[in-house]
Amino acid sequence: MIVLTVPNVLTIIRLMLIPGFMIAIVYQRYDYALYIFISAAATDKLDGAIARLTGKSTPFGAFLDPLADKFMLITASLFLFISKLLPAWLAILIICRDIIIMVGWSLLTFTGHALKINPTRLGKLAVAAQFALFAVILVEVNFHVLSGPKDALVWLTAGLTVISGIDYIQKGLHIAGEHKTGD
């Protein structure tokens, strides 16, 4: 049975914000896109804080929260690239990393390895850098300010994305080398 706690509802709201974000970008309503994106980032931080403070962490939330992040970041990468606001190479890097992680996790699960999704420190840093970069891009386009630090943030995001992707692959290969559950 799925338990809908406040953190789980916030994660579901974050998923429901994704179509609104896409529509805002398509219609070049970058102001709405910024508000929606900030709301999504806020629900991400809020759901985790509430779950930790209240002890209301659930298996459903532990599964859904990282997926909601991945869906939001993949969507933002794709739509910001299509709008020529994000370099193609970085969008491809972010999307490929998340697809590799999701496919790897699925393969490990389907081959009988017991898995709990535990984001790594590097993974959390990469996601934080991606959220920060996308927010900076949306602020820049809305307020017509040129952000010199954005270039540094692009490279930081790329580096963290690659390093965390390699880290997840190494952890996945290690898990794959271990005995299956029930053996």
Give the whole-angstrom CA distance, residue 117 versus residue 111.
16
pLDDT digits (tens, 9 = 90+) for 45-99: 898 889 888 887 888 888 888 889 899 999 999 999 999 999 999 999 999 999 9
pLDDT digits (tens, 9 = 90+) for 6-23: 989 999 999 999 999 999
Helices 6-26 & 59-82 angle (0-180, nearest 10): 10
pLDDT value, residue 1: 64
pLDDT digits (tens, 9 = 90+) for 149-179: 788 999 999 999 999 999 999 988 888 887 5
Give the whole-angstrom CA distance, residue 92 versus residue 39.
25
Q: What is the pTM of this model?
A: 0.87
Give the whole-angstrom CA distance, residue 182 versus residue 170.
23
Q: Which two tokens stand for residue 159?
A: 């580096």
Amino acid in the structure at residue 145: V
Q: Which CATH architecture has domain 6-177?
A: Up-down Bundle (1.20)
